[in-house]
Amino acid sequence: MKKCTRCGLQYAERESQCPHCGFTNAVFKEGNKFATEQQFKDEAERLRKEFESKKNLADKQALDAKNQFQEVVKKFHFDLDKLEADLKLFREKKG
């Protein structure tokens, strides 16, 4: 239930206007269409969930990229260590 800001009586939040005095239950106006406070809250919640979903996807993608990078670095270090060891052996055999 919602309390009318004009007459103070209560009415259902989903009503577009107070049934007692006719005052519009408008939180925002888009063109000529008024939205009720509940519709506004519902849209805000939908947007919050959409944002959270996209944030979670971005976080997962960032983590995947970090893990891939770490694997490349590990392989590079392994290859570099192996190359240095092979070079050392080559120099020892040659010298």
- The model's pLDDT over 21-47, given as tens digits with 9 standing for 90+, comes to 988 876 545 554 556 677 778 888 999
Are 34 and 16 spatial neighbours (Cβ–Cβ below 8 Å)?
yes
What are the angstrom distances between the C-alpha of 46 and each of 2, 13, 16, 38, 82? 21, 18, 20, 12, 54
DSSP 8-state symbol, 47: H
pLDDT (0 to 100) of residue 68 = 92
pTM above the 0.75 mark?
no
The full set of domain ranges for the chain reads 2-94
